[in-house]
Amino acid sequence: MADTTAQLDLLITRYLDGGEPEDRAALNDLMRHDPAARAAFIEHCRLAALVFECPRTQSKSIPASPMASLRAVGVYAAAAMIALAVTAWFILQPGPQTSHVDSAKPIVAMLTNTDGAVFDNQATTGGGSDAMTLGSELSAGLLKLTAGSAQIMFNSTAVVDLVGPCEFEMVGPNRGRLAAGSMSAYVPEAAHGFVVEAPAGQGTLSVVDLGTRFGLDVVPAGVADLRDGCSIVRVVEGEVELRYTDASRGVVQHRRLRAAEGMVVHDGRFEMMTPLIRGEVDPLAGAGAMTAATEGPYFVADTLSLHPNEFSQFGAVVTRRAMPLAAGASDFVCTFEFEFADGQGTGADWLKFFIAADPPTGNGASGRDAPSPQVFGITFDSYRNAEAGDPSAAFVDVITPNNPRLARIDLAALPFGLRDLTDSGSHRVRVWCISGRLSVSLDGQRIVRNLPVKLTDSSGGPLSAVWLGFGARTGGSSELHLVRDCWFAALGPDTNHADSPENSNPSERVGNLRTEIRHDSE
């Protein structure tokens, strides 16, 4: 066994260095008959991609999230990894594999990465009992991920990252369909034209790749008071074409999105999204150390670190300008990822997303209500203070100026399995404000639903504009509080953009809110 492992490592190393034909043939033979050898090859490819990216890394260090293979290591490293993995795919094609293959359906993809992934075997394999393993071939059909994350590579070389819970159907060698949940895609030139379909109200949205990396979220019908459901598209690089089709009404609409553009599509309505991280936010006055002068919020690539990983720190950012509310309505959606990384000691303390009616203050010494939300804040806390009645090291509070605990959600008591937010990986948050009420989902699970929150100015009148921001602090222990991939879209009542020109500038409107504590799968 040791000799076989040593031989495999040597052959993979030679292959990555350009190897001789006989080395490639020997590697081919080993991988064709050994799933563990295929998994080892894929892992070597991932490590090679990370090494490729190392010289590009900036001086400040932020730990990569579990699915960093396509998001954090950069386009060139991702391309290198995919090129290597694609070679493995084509090497393996001539011989049989033990995998999740329905002989009546074509093989269209391969499982290339997992992180805590839990699959619904009945849905994914048609009742098969075999565990999904790296290198598994996948037939056309449904892939149901109930938790964790997984990465698949289509025959075309398009690569898709899935975040559970989600339902993704592999339709063909260069086509998929996201029925629910979240995904991101990297599409190299060889897979140009890759298509992902998604429900969007009474019609269907097709996202057609034109050479890009993009993200897609599907919110099923009946969620967050959007009766017909919606799809959210975010373009990281390159371009995509959006095609909305409603055969019953004879409606066909087209839009094109470029890098740093996004759109919410529901029932034929197109709402532009605005990215709210780099270039759109500024450090909040008063942020920084509470005990000694040190550096405040900073970026590494597209990830915002709100403060250094030191004790007793506070950092905050806010949008550079007030964002106007839509006339006649104040509905909006905001999505972002956060991570509590590299915990020191017990890890501490909290990170908050907030909405403010006026430019907020940033005095970190004022506690968990800082920066003052003035309208509402959503605080994610990783430190259990038993004396204060904290339920666990993983809980969420919704706060307002008059109520520091309008709602409290103990994540440890829900099916998340989260006992501590520190070093628990990256988490996706979606905040809906519809018809004066707030709903919040975390990693695809509803944690707050239909909670009334007032959007009024200091005189009690309706707001015409708001500020959005993030704040975080540490105490006697420390960790990094990171934010990435933040997008905002207003959802006005008269914003059907069917007749608007393609590539119109993103609107900047904000919305209203609601919520009750509840745990729902979206």
Give the per-residue pLDDT at 414.
87
Q: What is the pLDDT of residue 286?
A: 45
Task: Report how far apart, in Å, the C-alpha atoms of 216 and of each of 117, 227, 232, 241 are.
Answer: 19, 19, 6, 13
- Measured CA to CA, the distance from residue 41 to residue 88 in angstroms comes to 8
Supply φ then ψ for residue 279, to 5 degrees.
85, -10
Q: Return the pLDDT at 496.
A: 38
Judged on CB neighbours under 10 Å (0-12, 13-18, 19+), 401 is middle
Q: H or E stretch including 122?
A: helix 121-125
Q: Which backbone phi and psi does 277 adopt, to 5 degrees?
A: -110, -105
Interior angle at CA 332, CA 326 and CA 337, nearest 5: 145
pLDDT of residue 130: 52
- The one-letter code for the residue type at 112 is T
Q: How far is CA 76 from CA 73, 80, 123, 154, 253, in A?
A: 8, 6, 35, 19, 34
Q: Which fold has domain 281-521?
A: Jelly Rolls (2.60.120)
Task: Return left, alpha or beta for 14; rule: phi > 0 is left, psi -120 to 50 is alpha, else beta.
Answer: alpha
Could you check whether 107-274 and 281-521 share the same CATH topology? yes
A 10 A CB-CB count for 310 gives 14
Q: For each of the chain's 522 residues, which pLDDT tens digit applies?
A: 566 777 888 887 777 666 677 777 777 777 766 767 766 776 676 666 555 444 433 445 555 443 333 334 344 444 445 545 544 544 444 444 444 555 567 889 989 888 888 888 644 544 443 557 777 889 999 999 988 889 999 988 899 999 888 999 999 999 999 998 999 999 988 899 999 999 887 788 999 998 889 999 988 766 545 545 788 999 988 999 999 998 777 768 889 999 889 998 877 788 888 887 766 677 765 443 333 334 568 887 788 898 888 888 888 888 888 777 776 667 788 999 999 999 988 777 899 999 888 877 655 434 566 667 778 999 999 999 888 899 999 999 999 888 888 999 999 998 777 899 999 988 999 998 877 788 899 988 889 988 988 877 777 777 777 788 898 988 888 999 999 989 988 776 633 333 333 333 333 222 222 222 222 333
- Output helix, strand, coil percentages for the chain, rounded to the nearest 5: 15, 45, 35
Residues, the chain, total? Answer: 522
DSSP class per residue in 203-234 = EEEEEEEEEEEEEEEEE-TTBTTBTT-EEEEE
Domain boundaries defined on the chain: 2-92, 107-274, 281-521
**pLDDT score recorded for residue 151:** 93
CB-count burial class (<10 Å; 0-12, 13-18, 19+) for 346? middle
Separation between Cα atoms, residue 473 and residue 310, nearest integer Å: 10
47 touches 12 (CB < 8 A)? no
Query: Helix crossing, 35-53 with 2-16: angle to 10°?
Result: 40
Which CATH number describes the domain made up of 107-274? 2.60.120.1440
Given the structure tokens 């629910």, which residue do they identify?
A: 180
Are 108 and 160 in contact, with CB atoms under 8 Å apart?
Answer: no
Instruction: Determine the Cα–Cα distance for residues 323 and 326; give it in Å rounded to an integer.
Output: 10
Give me 112's structure tokens: 């290339």
CB 407 within 8 A of CB 448: yes
What pairing do the DSSP bridges indicate for beta strands 313-319 and 281-283? antiparallel
SS3 assignment, position 162: strand
d(CA 183, CA 185) in angstroms, rounded, equals 7
**φ, ψ for residue 469 (rounded to 5)?**
-165, 180
Residue 52 has a pLDDT of 45
Please answer whether residues 117 and 150 qualify as being in contact, where contact means their C-beta atoms are separated by less than 8 angstroms. Answer: yes
Is 397 within 8 Å of 408 (Cβ atoms)? yes
CA–CA gap between residue 53 and residue 279 (Å, rounded) = 24
Please report, in angstroms and rounded to a whole number, the separation of the first and last CA atoms in the chain.
Answer: 46
User: Which residues are CB-contacts of 264 (< 8 A; sequence separation ≥ 6)?
Assistant: 230, 231, 232, 270, 271, 273, 333, 489, 491
